[in-house]
Amino acid sequence: MRSLPIAAAAQPRADMLTVAALALPFACVAPLLLVAHGVLPLWSAAALLWSGAPLLALLYLPQRYAPRQSVLLGTMSAAVWVAVVWQLFT
């Protein structure tokens, strides 16, 4: 987003909105297919989708405070997040 002509204060918000807009359709496909086939209850699928919202905030922290290592720290944070959340839903 740094190449776009937007204010520096709006860049983090634009980054998060871009990630959310690009990731949301892909994140919704698997739980909705499981609901359609009767494998997962609707309330559990909604909880699974909403559990990803704090992950976006967690992934913002490495970009803000350690930009040079943000890819590595973001990948590690996402892997730990998935491992923890997976245990809650299985």
Cα 89 from Cα 7, distance rounded (Å): 40
- Using an 8 Å Cβ cutoff, are 51 and 88 in contact? yes
* The pLDDT value given to residue 90: 65
Q: Which amino acid is at 14?
A: A
Is pTM beyond 0.75? Reply is no
Please give the mean pLDDT across all residues of the chain. 81
31-70 confidence digits (pLDDT tens): 889 899 998 899 988 888 887 778 878 887 887 788 788 8
